[in-house]
């Protein structure tokens, strides 16, 4: 895993997307689902997108986040969730 440890919010976000693998959700939507402030969720999402564990889907006005479809990344996510 190259030393990457998940924050509690990142862990919650990844579990949310594992439970809803087809979901495409906004920062505000995820924050509402998880009960966190949008700014905290946005920071966590940036790191997860940077690792390519989540993907973004943008329209002209809205950015949505979704679980990656890359099997290698999905394996890394599972290992990270099991490891900590």
Residues 19-29: pLDDT tens digits? Answer: 999 999 999 99
In a domain, 84, yes or no: no
In a domain, 57, yes or no: yes
Q: Within 13 Å, how many C-alpha atoms sit on residue 54's CB side?
A: 30
**Which CATH number does the domain housing residue 41 bear?**
1.10.10.10
Rounded to an integer, what distance in angstroms lies between the CA atom of residue 84 and that of residue 75?
Answer: 15
Tokens describing residue 73: 């990344």
In a domain, 12, yes or no: yes
Q: Report residue 55: phi and psi, to 5°.
A: -115, 155
In a domain, 2, yes or no: no
Question: Per the structure, how many domains does the chain have?
Answer: 1
In a domain, 47, yes or no: yes
Structural domain boundaries, residue 63: 8-79
Confidence of residue 62 (pLDDT cuts 50, 70, 90): confident
Position 2 scores a pLDDT of 46
């Amino acid at each position: 895993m190259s030393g990457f440890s998940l924050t509690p919010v990142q862990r919650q976000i990844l579990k949310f997307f594992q439970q809803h693998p087809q979901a495409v959700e906004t920062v505000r939507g995820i924050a509402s689902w998880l009960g966190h402030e949008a700014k905290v969720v946005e920071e966590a999402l940036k790191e997860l997108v940077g690792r390519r564990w989540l993907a973004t889907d943008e329209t002209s006005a809205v950015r949505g986040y979704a679980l990656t479809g890359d099997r290698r990344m999905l394996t890394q996510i599972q290992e990270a969730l099991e490891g900590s």
